[in-house]
Amino acid sequence: TQLLEQSPQFLSIQEGENLTVYCNSSSVFSSLQWYRQEPGEGPVLLVTVVTGGEVKKLKRLTFQFGDARKDSSLHITAAQPGDTGLYLCAGVGSWGKLQFGAGTQVVVTP
Amino acid sequence: GAGVSQTPSNKVTEKGKYVELRCDPISGHTALYWYRQSLGQGPEFLIYFQGTGAADDSGLPNDRFFAVRPEGSVSTLKIQRTERGDSAVYLCASSLTGTSSGNTIYFGEGSWLTVV
């Protein structure tokens, strides 16, 4: 059972377009992480957000953590084919134990 | 090696057989985690080791699943009497310390298990 809900499940866009994916939970997490996973590989950490209302930028990626620390979003500006992948959000619990959402599959076509 | 190494990368086994999946974490990492990822889902937590001890095994689905880490480095996930529903990618991850913040967790490429 995934306690974190991600939407949409699938997103297909053209190169150069913007996109936003969402991560919502009924639970409060001390911190939340976003990962990207490509086929045949494990998830790779993109960012950790800790403070309610926090905004972090990683090149063309912008991450927001909700004020109540229960929701988060990832916005990609001017998407490129290299952004294609499964984007996963994960709430961080005790001992670094992660509770993942089901993921959003993003496909960026040239 | 530089990253988390998992073997085998692929395993096909018959229903009812026993399988072992191996994880070699990043050198010096005391925390080790096993996750299971089914098709179309995010990874689900199975077990967490701090050193040699299993600090949290609450995610193991039943007593057919068992994991060890006898010397605090390499870990083996063992599945007895495999069932078709065990088919999934088994991911191993490690981190320097098992703390909830400021700690990057590194995943291996996974072991894809298919039970036929």
Residues A86-105 have a mean pLDDT of 93
Share of chain A above pLDDT 90, in %: 84
Q: Give the pLDDT score at A29.
A: 85
Residues B32-49 have a mean pLDDT of 96
Residues A27-32 have a mean pLDDT of 87
Least confident stretch, A9-13, B9-13, B103-107:
B103-107
Are A96 and B42 inside 8 Å of each other by CB? no
Are B56 and A101 inside 8 Å of each other by CB? no
Across the A:B interface, residue pairs with CB atoms under 8 Å apart total 75
Q: Give the pLDDT score at B1.
A: 54
Chain A residue with the nearest C-alpha to that of B107: A42
Is the pLDDT score of A14 beyond 80?
yes
Per the model's pLDDT, the better-predicted residue between B44 and A95 turns out to be B44
Encode burial over B24-40: b for 16+ CB neighbours within 10 A, e otherwise: bbbeebbbbbbbbbeee
Q: Give the pLDDT score at B98.
A: 75
Q: Suggest the residue from B105, B109, B111, B112 to mutate for an interface test with chain A (most A CBs closer than 10 A).
A: B105
Which residues of chain A lie closer than 8 angstroms to B48, CB-CB? 95-97
> Residue A69: what residue type?
R
Are A97 and B48 inside 8 Å of each other by CB? yes
Are A95 and B44 inside 8 Å of each other by CB? no
**Is B32 in CB contact (< 8 Å) with chain A?**
no
Is the pLDDT score of A98 beyond 90?
yes
Q: Give the pLDDT score at A2.
A: 52
Residues B23-41 have a mean pLDDT of 95
* Three-state DSSP state, A84: coil
Compute the CA torsion angle B78, B81, B86, B89 (nearest 10 deg).
30
Other Cβ atoms within 10 Å of A43 Cβ, number? 29
Structural tokens at position A18: 């913007």
Is the pLDDT score of B29 beyond 60?
yes
Mean pLDDT of chain A: 94
Residues B19-38 have a mean pLDDT of 96
Are B98 and A44 inside 8 Å of each other by CB? no
**What is the tens place of the pLDDT at every residue in A54-89?**
999 999 999 999 999 889 999 999 999 999 999 999
